[in-house]
Amino acid sequence: MKYNHETILKCASMVKEAESIAVLSGAGVSTSSGIPDFRGPNGIYRRKYDIEPERIFDIDFFSRDPAFFFKFHREFLKALKEVSPSYTHRFLTALEREGSLKGIVTQNIDALHHKAGSKNVLEIHGGVWKSTCLSCGKSYDYETSWKKTMEEEIPHCEKCGGVIKPDIVFFGEDVKHLEESRSIISQADLLLVLGSSLTVVPAALLPSCCNGKIVVVNKGDVSGAYLSPNRIDLRIDGDLDEFFGDLNEELNLTIQ
């Protein structure tokens, strides 16, 4: 369903009026950069693997068979080297520079908001930029863990021989920065929920902390289990980059 010009004007006036904007982003903001999401039409969950794809990021499965995850992770790290932020990432950086966007809470682990120049980003599912030995806690920087991941089937700790795991939050692990995320979202008078199916908790529960208006931009279904459709002030079912391109015709932010 394509949005119309009236929708663009409505969203533009909500953005202009808001003094404090927060964003909750999901995998959909990075698909045009070339990183597949989980549940979209070309998502990882639609592909054929030797195991059910849901188990790739499952901590119990990882503990039993880390090799499968690292096979997947090697390809992800290689792909990440090639990708650039999307128009949506860069639009959000411009909105932060302009002053009204106070924080981005992201479920993504690709660091593309940082790469686009956004400053106040909370990566609630962690990221690939640091790894930690599961046995002794020794920390590894990106370069070292990258090299070890490429060279070893399962990267092992130089100090104790334990398995080194990237600081990505797996299903079954605690998310990061939850209180800070709730605080940014509850103080915002406008929340933009972007490119998320809103199915993964507790991230999907965060919009319910919002006391202001909520705009949801997502191509395809968004779960109503954690955010009631009645609570959404504006729902755009369309492509993010296209939508923010059209929105910026009204806002005239300088996108770098």
Residues annotated in the binding site for Zn(2+), as ranges?
133, 136, 157, 160
Closer residue to ligand CNA in complex, CB, 89/213: 89
Closer residue to ligand CNA in complex, CB, 114/157: 114
Shortest Cβ distance from residue 157 to ligand CNA (Å)?
Answer: 25
Catalytic, 125? Answer yes
Closer residue to ligand CNA in complex, CB, 43/162: 43
Both tokens of 70, joined, read 């690292």
The residue from 5, 89, 125, 177 that is catalytic is 125
- The footprint of ligand CNA (CB under 6 A) covers 26-28, 30-32, 35, 37-40, 43, 107-110, 125, 195-197, 199-200, 218-220, 239-240
Shortest Cβ distance from residue 4 to ligand CNA (Å)?
Answer: 17
Binding-site residue ranges: 133, 136, 157, 160
Shortest Cβ distance from residue 75 to ligand CNA (Å)?
Answer: 13
Which residues on neighbouring strands pair with residue 168, listed in sequence order?
A: 126
Rounded to the nearest angstrom, the gap between the alpha carbon of residue 83 and the centroid of all alpha carbons in its chain is 15
If one counts every other C-beta atom within 10 angstroms of the C-beta of residue 173, the result is: 15
Give the residue numbers annotated as catalytic, written as ranges: 125
